[in-house]
Amino acid sequence: MENHLELHKEVRGKIETIRSRDGRYHADAYLFVIDTVEAVLLEIARMRHISGSELCGGLRALATTRFGPMAKEVLNFWGVRSTEDFGNIVFNLVDAGLLLKTEHDRIEDFIDVYDFGEVFERNYFEA
């Protein structure tokens, strides 16, 4: 348990360092992306690279599950208004050594993957 607490402190410290350089996103947005990476890896049941679109799908699913009809409002409160914001968070986490990327990963992989209004409002309420 002690190792887990130390790891948690280290992650929080790195996120605060990121936020001192790039204050656009709430610390919880970074933790949410890390949680989603773990959830997607558990779902696919093996360690492998996750593409930007796969991660965006996982982020959408987890946000909908955790926050229901308030998902868009929670994400917006954290400064996340588009899938490109998720990409910025991911690449900030990569730069901090909290996530890994391949030479093929690009920030452009996160641009316009889906529209927040459509997936978190219209599709949610039409389902």
Per-residue pLDDT at 124? 57
Q: What CA–CA distance (Å, rounded) separates 107 from 87?
A: 6
Per-residue pLDDT at 114? 94
Per-residue pLDDT at 4? 52
Both tokens of 3, joined, read: 């190792």
Tens of each residue's pLDDT in the chain, 127 residues: 445 566 678 899 999 999 999 999 999 999 999 999 999 988 877 777 889 999 999 999 999 999 999 999 999 999 999 999 999 999 999 999 999 999 999 999 999 999 998 998 876 555 4
- Which string of DSSP letters, residue by residue, matches the chain? -HHHHHHHHHHHHHHHHHHHH-TTS-HHHHHHHHHHHHHHHHHHTS-----HHHHHHHHHHHHHHHHGGGHHHHHHHTT--SHHHHHHHHHHHHHTTSS---TT--GGGGTTSS-HHIIIIIHHHH-
Q: What CA–CA distance (Å, rounded) separates 36 from 86?
A: 11
Per-residue pLDDT at 1? 45
Per-residue pLDDT at 55? 94
* Host domain of residue 29: 2-126
Structural domains of the chain, count: 1
Per-residue pLDDT at 45? 72
